[in-house]
């Protein structure tokens, strides 16, 4: 704890926002790092954020993983929506509605390093571990603990997790969705995770649900060669 600057340690909002801000900043640098550099940046941002979250754990008391059947159900349901929604929109004639269009390469280290390279399984593991164990607590703390409650009241720590208010519910879910390539699925995902927080009146179930979704999505991408989701 002594290694955390007092200016950061004494700001509940900064403690919750800093890991997310660093992750987003490094993500923005990935397209400019070359075909191999983006993989190393993903490793770097995952490690940096993991270290920050670990050091901040006593400053963010709500950041506690909680296992419940509701968390499992929501996590699995969101995964199904995530992988099937695009198929549904195309079936009903909406084409790629709900997805941002971009021309960048998907995350497939086999195409970058070659099928026989020893770094391929390493970077696949990095992506799955990062998205399953690092991203969920980071995003849930930022969106559901900080942003949602701050929009209710600047003294956000006084806002109970079970308090429903329409404006922050919509704004937080939209912001969460639009940071993802599959923005429509992301918005629905935001509704589900925020609803879980409101239902259970704590953050831990949403962290677990988010981890289950991302873990299943990682399995789906690798096992089914559906690299577009990465």
pLDDT in tens, 120-131: 999 999 999 999
Q: State the chain's mean pLDDT as an integer.
A: 93
Banded model confidence at residue 102, pLDDT cuts 50, 70, 90: low
So what's the pLDDT on residue 116? 86
Name 196's Cβ contacts closer than 8 Å, sequence gap at least 6: 70, 71, 74, 205, 206, 209
Query: Per mean pLDDT, which range of 44-58, 78-92, 187-201 is the poorest?
Result: 78-92
- Examine residue 100 and state whether it is found in any structural domain, yes or no: yes
Alpha-carbon distance of 194 to 165, in angstroms, equals 11
So what's the pLDDT on residue 164? 98
- Examine residue 51 and state whether it is found in any structural domain, yes or no: no
- Examine residue 21 and state whether it is found in any structural domain, yes or no: no
Q: Check pLDDT > 80 for residue 119.
A: yes
- Examine residue 8 and state whether it is found in any structural domain, yes or no: no
What is this structure's pTM?
0.93
Q: What total of structural domains would you count in the chain?
A: 1
> Position of tokens 């002594």?
2
- Examine residue 17 and state whether it is found in any structural domain, yes or no: no
- Examine residue 102 and state whether it is found in any structural domain, yes or no: yes
User: What does the pLDDT average to over 12-41?
Assistant: 95
So what's the pLDDT on residue 212? 98
So what's the pLDDT on residue 48? 97
- Examine residue 28 and state whether it is found in any structural domain, yes or no: no
């Amino acid at each position: 704890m002594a290694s955390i600057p007092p200016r950061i340690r004494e700001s509940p909002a900064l403690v919750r926002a800093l890991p997310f801000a660093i992750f987003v900043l490094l993500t923005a640098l990935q397209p400019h790092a070359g075909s191999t550099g983006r993989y190393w940046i993903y490793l770097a941002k995952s490690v940096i954020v993991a270290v920050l979250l670990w050091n901040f754990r006593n400053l963010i008391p709500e950041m506690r993983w909680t296992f419940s059947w509701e968390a499992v159900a929501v996590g699995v349901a969101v995964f199904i929506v995530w992988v099937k929604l695009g198929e549904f929109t195309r079936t009903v004639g909406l084409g790629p509605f709900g997805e941002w269009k971009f021309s960048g390469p998907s995350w497939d280290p086999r195409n970058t390093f070659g099928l026989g390279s020893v770094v391929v399984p390493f970077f696949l593991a990095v992506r799955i571990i990062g998205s399953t164990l690092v991203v969920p607590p980071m995003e849930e703390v930022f969106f559901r603990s900080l942003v949602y409650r701050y929009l209710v009241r600047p003294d956000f720590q006084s806002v109970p997790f079970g308090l429903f208010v329409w404006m922050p519910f919509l704004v937080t879910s939209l912001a969460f969705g639009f940071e993802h390539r599959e923005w429509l699925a992301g918005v629905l995902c935001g509704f589900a995770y925020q609803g879980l927080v409101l239902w259970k009146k704590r953050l831990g179930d949403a962290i677990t649900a988010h981890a289950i979704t991302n873990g299943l999505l990682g399995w789906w991408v690798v096992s089914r060669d559906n690299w577009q989701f990465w």
